[in-house]
Amino acid sequence: MISWQQRELNERLPEEFKKRGFYMLGFAPPEFAPMPYGFKNRDKCTEYLSIMEDEYKYVAFKNMAVKTGTIEEQEVIGNMFVKLGSLRREPYPMIELTAFYQGRMYRYVNQCYHFSREMEFARSCEDVQQAIERLMMEATEVVDLWWRSVRTLIVENRWPEEEYITDVNYLQ
């Protein structure tokens, strides 16, 4: 039997992801999903998305690209995965941001302890909505962490010279 919190989450979560530009697995076969950045082979991508769909109750992802450079603009590409309801792995929702730039991969992961706790103690539909908002806020925090890391690399001269990231607005 499904709890009212689970029913509310089933109704509200897809709307929230769609509003924020995420693609949520489970509404169409993985073969029809857009390819997350970083994948070059459609078969491998479909296999990966199928595994994610089998491992988690909810999986949403969003491709992202930001421009870098002053003279020669280049693109930093990546994706963000939000994984909830693990069937075999970690008990908390996970947010993973993976960015690729000049042959390097930058990966940031956040476990959303607060979301699980807020869902556990939800007493109304508004509480469920607040938990979802908290999850989206934690996704924004992962983006902020990535952005701070890039700025630190620039300041420490470990990022290619005269390059900076602009147009970081993919979570609005």
First and final C-alpha spacing in the chain: 36
Residue 61 is assigned to a structural domain of this protein: yes
2: confidence class by pLDDT, cuts 50, 70, 90: low
Residue 10 is assigned to a structural domain of this protein: yes
- The per-residue pLDDT for range 5-62, each reduced to its tens digit, is 888 988 999 999 999 999 999 888 889 999 888 888 899 999 999 999 999 999 999 9
- The per-residue pLDDT for range 58-86, each reduced to its tens digit, is 999 999 877 766 666 777 788 899 999 88
| pLDDT above 90 coverage of the chain, percent | 29
Question: Distance of CA 113 to CAs 80, 89, 142, Å?
Answer: 18, 14, 14
Residue 163 is assigned to a structural domain of this protein: no
Give the Cα separation of 166 and 100 in Å (integer).
16
Give 109's strand partners. 96
Structure token pair of residue 42: 């459609």
H or E element that contains 100: strand 94-101
Residue 8 is assigned to a structural domain of this protein: yes
Give the Cα separation of 98 and 104 in Å (integer).
10
Give the Cα separation of 87 and 40 in Å (integer).
28
Give 58's strand partners. 84
Residue 14: domain span: 4-157
Structure token pair of residue 30: 């993985």
168: confidence class by pLDDT, cuts 50, 70, 90: very low
C-alpha neighbours within 13 Å on the C-beta side of residue 146? 28
Residue 131 is assigned to a structural domain of this protein: yes
Residue 11 is assigned to a structural domain of this protein: yes
Residue 114 is assigned to a structural domain of this protein: yes
pLDDT the model gives residue 120:
83
Question: Number of structural domains, the chain?
Answer: 1
Residue 171 is assigned to a structural domain of this protein: no
pLDDT the model gives residue 59:
93
With beta carbons less than 8 A apart as the criterion, state whether 19 and 25 touch. Answer: no
pLDDT the model gives residue 172:
39
